[in-house]
Amino acid sequence: MRVWVAIWVGSTAITRAIAAWIARGVTLKLIIIIGVAGFVKGLPWTTNIVLALVVGWLLTAIALGLLAPAAEGQPDPSDEAAAGPPIPTREELTAALHKVAAPHAHITAVAEHLGTSTERVREGLDGAGIPVSGGVRMKGRKAAVSPGVKKDDFPPLSSPDQETTQEGVVAGALTSNNNSNNTDEQGPREGMSIIQDDTNPRFWHVLTRSRS
């Protein structure tokens, strides 16, 4: 088994060396190769020469393969390249969809915007539960109709600033109400109260009271 691996590794090295040698002067090198091949073909012992070349190739490949440094336990760069870029998150996809929309968004346009592949975008959309349509229309693209996401299926953009503002308003109202309650006035009075929802503590109810 080791010999076969050595032949494969050594043959790869020989092939790369030959390709590099030809690349330094393609026209001249091809003329030389064709000329030598034609000369050898015209000789009476062509078969013997070919067999000698084959044996020499195998012996050289085995030697190179056995002398090649072992790389066991180390990641193969080709495997890392095959893994590809990471799958975009739901937030990244949402922002990209709204950014490139015209009015819908092609998967190819989203991939270009995120600098990733269409396969990764599809995986991200599937994982995020964002529907993909077989063909949607988008302006400014070479192909007007292509697989993508319809505008109605875009997830809404999150607005942290707006949420912070709303929480600040509720907190201010609660503080004002608590200060008003710390008085000597007894019994119901006219005004407004804010109470927390028992089912969902994130919501508050505004109650109005009139003087009885």
Per-residue pLDDT tens for 102-114?
999 999 999 999 9
Mean pLDDT throughout 132-156?
A: 92
**Least confident piece of the model among 21-25, 136-140, 178-182:** 178-182
Same-domain check for residues 140 and 167:
no
36 falls in which pLDDT band (50, 70, 90)? confident
| CATH number of domain containing 137 | 1.10.10
Is the alpha carbon torsion for 86, 87, 91, 96 positive or negative?
positive
Question: Which residue is it, tokens 């190819």?
Answer: 108
Global pTM?
Answer: 0.41
Three-state DSSP at 199 gives coil
Same-domain check for residues 58 and 101:
no
- Kindly tell me if the per-residue pLDDT of 52 is higher than 60: yes
DSSP secondary structure letters along 55-82: HHHHHHHHHHHHHSPP-TTSPPHHHHHH
Mean pLDDT throughout 127-139?
A: 92
How many helices and strands (H and E) does the chain possess?
8, 5
Per-residue pLDDT tens for 156-183?
987 655 444 455 554 554 454 555 454 4
Helix 46-67 crosses helix 26-41 at what angle (to 10 degrees)?
130
Residue that terminates a domain, selected from 16, 36, 67: 67
Residue 77 lies in a domain: no
Q: Domain residues for 57?
A: 2-67
Residue 92 lies in a domain: yes
Structure tokens at 171: 């907190």
Count of domains for the chain: 3
Three-state DSSP at 102 gives coil
Per-residue pLDDT tens for 53-97?
888 888 888 888 777 654 444 455 555 555 668 999 999 999 999
